[in-house]
Amino acid sequence: MPASVRGVRGATVAAAAPLWLSLRALAFCPPQARRHWSSGGLLLATAVALAIDIAGGYWLAGGGVFNPDALPGWATVGLLLFVIGAAIERRGALAWQMATLFFGIGLWLSLLFLLAWSGAMHWLRPSLAYRFGWAVFAIWPVWLVLALVHAVVRPRGGWTRKRMAAAALLAACLLGQRYYFADTEQFWLPEAEAAASVPPPTPKLADGATLYSEAGRLGDALAAIAPGKPGVVENYALVIGGDAGQGVFVREATSMRDRFDARLGTRGRSILLANHDSVTGVLPIATQTSIAAALGAIGERMNRDEDVLLLYLTSHGSRDHEFALANPPLELPGVTPQWLADALAGAKIRWRIVIVSACYSGGFVPALARPESLVMTAAASDRTSFGCADENDFTYFGKALYDALGRDGDWRAIWARTRDAVAKREAAERFESSKPQFSFGAAIAAKLAGTGARTPKQRPSP
């Protein structure tokens, strides 16, 4: 082999040695000779690590606009390690070794993460993939620091208490950097058009005339409720779209009211309260005050001993079982299970079908379950429900119930169809089961076996 070829080969091997040594350090293998730690090795490790992080970030973000402002933050820790190493060992290779290992181990970890994340997205359901991502997020800096410090301290006398404390501090700093500065260190940002800082439109409720007209709008809606006919079992409906932040709730609430009117005969005896800018000034807004007023008006108009209330609520829900009411710029308290139970009791409404479509809505069952009530929820008390994307027309539960109401007249059959449709869709999309809940009081079960709140026998609706 010509001397020139051997020279090029030797130079290539020497230049690539830091990458090999970093891989060995990642696996906690015994470190090799320190003669490989040089400026050339540091530049190579830095360049390869940067290329992998930029390319990987592009893949994870799905494209976008390159953000050069992320470069200083990305390199800060490596440069800091170089300065620390130079201060500790002014004439030695410690500075080159620490900085090179930081970028070298980091590039191998980035490759491992990208491969693992690709597999997780393919094989795991979204909820587990999300948890996997957080686990990797936490493990990454700990693994990097342990591997780096192990490679540095082993030839220098091994681990001591001070070195273990330094490793723990470095790991904490890296974890904090990744958590608090993650957004500022993204190499790829959304397209300029999408990321442009366009102020959101002013909510219609911010207009004083619109806000002060709400009382009259609610009053008109309540006045339009038809009184019940003695001796005839009739159904009344109150439908609530709670969160103005996403259009899916007002669309679902509107469709559900139409379904109740068509299938359960509530036309002229139904009220829709909704929070969304698209219906502000058209429909009464949903607040604790308007909900209580609507329940009170229905309670006065219906024949309490025979008529049935259908109460449907759709919005976000919290872990502490609060149904969200949101309509900026107003700051609205949500609906809790006990508040709703008290409001129903205050309206003296005896026969109730209450359906809550929200995350963690199973928490409403204990407070609302009674012999004269049917209670259905989109999720168990400790589970989320799905489908509340702004562009959707229904949540998963809302769509399943809407379809079931168009095909069945018996509430047990409606429940079974709804539950099964939700479970099938969640399984197909690999979501953790929301576990919808159902409580059917004995008294209302006997009543609904007759005529009250039972859909008429007719051909299935689309």
Pick left, alpha or beta for residue 455 (phi over 0 → left; psi -120 to 50 → alpha; otherwise beta). beta
Residue of 445 and 105 predicted with greater confidence: 445
* pLDDT value of position 13: 57
Residues 20 and 168 in one domain: yes
Q: What is the mean pLDDT of residues 154-172?
A: 64
Q: Is the pLDDT of residue 202 over 70?
A: yes
Beta bridge partner(s), residue 310: 237, 353
Residue of 460 and 455 predicted with greater confidence: 455
Residues 305 and 381 in one domain: yes
C-alpha 20: how far from chain center? 40
Query: In this structure, are residues 96 and 39 in contact, taking their beta carbons and an 8 Å threshold?
Result: yes
Tokens of 175: 């974890």
Q: How far apart are CA 37 and CA 107, in angstroms?
A: 17
Q: Would residue 49 count as lying in a domain?
A: yes
Angle, alpha carbons 157-160-161 (nearest 5°):
170
Among candidate residues 375, 352, 257, the one with its CA nearest the CA of residue 302: 352
Picking from 168, 194, 220, the residue at the C-terminal end of a domain is: 194
Residues 258 and 345 in one domain: yes
Domain count, the chain: 2
Q: Is the pLDDT of residue 224 over 80?
A: yes
Q: Is the pLDDT of residue 351 over 90?
A: yes
Residues 184 and 247 in one domain: no
Among candidate residues 279, 287, 277, 280, the one with its CA nearest the CA of residue 332: 287
Q: Is the pLDDT of residue 47 over 80?
A: yes
Q: Would residue 455 count as lying in a domain?
A: no
Picking from 194, 220, 253, the residue at the C-terminal end of a domain is: 194
Ranges 31-35, 41-45, 152-156, 360-364, most confident:
360-364
Reported in sequence order, the residue ranges of 242-284 that DSSP labels E, i.e. its strands, are 270-274
Q: How far apart are CA 231 and CA 226, in angstroms?
A: 15
Residues 265 and 183 in one domain: no
Q: Is the pLDDT of residue 460 over 50?
A: no
Q: Is the pLDDT of residue 301 over 70?
A: yes
Q: Is the pLDDT of residue 352 over 90?
A: yes
Query: In this structure, are residues 147 and 105 in contact, taking their beta carbons and an 8 Å threshold?
Result: yes
Residues 280 and 133 in one domain: no
- H-run or E-run covering 308: strand 308-314
Q: Would residue 334 count as lying in a domain?
A: yes
Residues 306 and 186 in one domain: no
Cis amide prior to 462 (ω within 30 degrees): no
Mean of pLDDT over the chain: 83
Residue of 146 and 369 predicted with greater confidence: 369
* pLDDT value of position 92: 61
**Of 88-102, 343-357, 388-402, 430-444, the least confident:** 88-102
Q: Would residue 161 count as lying in a domain?
A: yes
Task: Report the half-sphere exposure of 244 (CA within 13 A, side-chain side).
Answer: 23
Tokens of 425: 């869709």
Residue with tokens 């993204």: 186
Residues 162 and 219 in one domain: no
* pLDDT value of position 328: 92
DSSP letters for 107-139: HHHHHHHHHHHHHHHHHS-HHHHHHHHHHHHHH
Query: In this structure, are residues 152 and 28 in contact, taking their beta carbons and an 8 Å threshold?
Result: no
pLDDT band at residue 33 using 50, 70 and 90 as cut-offs: low
Q: Would residue 459 count as lying in a domain?
A: no
Name residues whose C-beta falls within 8 Å of residue 322's C-beta, 6 or more positions apart in sequence: 334, 335, 336
Q: Would residue 248 count as lying in a domain?
A: yes
Tokens of 208: 């004083």
DSSP letters for 142-211: HHHHHHHHHHHHGGGT---HHHHHHHHHHHHHHHHHHHHSTTTT-SEE--HHHHS-PPPPPPGGGSHHHH
CA distances (Å), origin 318, targets 41, 195, 197, 321: 52, 29, 30, 5
- H-run or E-run covering 400: helix 396-405
Residues 145 and 270 in one domain: no
Residues 320 and 378 in one domain: yes
Residue of 89 and 202 predicted with greater confidence: 202
**Of 24-33, 204-213, 277-286, the least confident:** 24-33
Structural domain span for residue 396: 207-448
Helix (H, G, I), strand (E, B) or coil at 94: helix
* pLDDT value of position 174: 64
Task: Report the half-sphere exposure of 23 (CA within 13 A, side-chain side).
Answer: 7
* Tens digits of residue pLDDT in 271-283: 999 999 999 999 9
CATH number, residue 431: 3.40.50.1460
Q: Would residue 404 count as lying in a domain?
A: yes
Q: What is the share, in percent, of the chain residues with pLDDT greater than 90?
A: 47
Residue of 143 and 380 predicted with greater confidence: 380
End-to-end CA distance of the chain: 80
Residues 257 and 227 in one domain: yes
* pLDDT value of position 292: 97
423-445 burial code (b ≥16 CB/10 A, e <16): bebbeeeebeebbbbbbbbeebe
Q: Is the pLDDT of residue 409 over 80?
A: yes
Residues 101 and 247 in one domain: no
Q: Would residue 458 count as lying in a domain?
A: no
Picking from 194, 218, 242, the residue at the C-terminal end of a domain is: 194
Query: In this structure, are residues 374 and 350 in contact, taking their beta carbons and an 8 Å threshold?
Result: no
Query: In this structure, are residues 236 and 261 in contact, taking their beta carbons and an 8 Å threshold?
Result: no
Residue of 11 and 107 predicted with greater confidence: 107
Residue of 28 and 137 predicted with greater confidence: 28
Q: How far apart are CA 120 and CA 141, in angstroms?
A: 20
Q: Is the pLDDT of residue 148 over 80?
A: no
Name residues whose C-beta falls within 8 Å of residue 249's C-beta, 6 or more positions apart in sequence: 241, 242, 243, 274, 275, 276, 314, 315, 388
**Of 120-124, 277-281, 293-297, the least confident:** 120-124
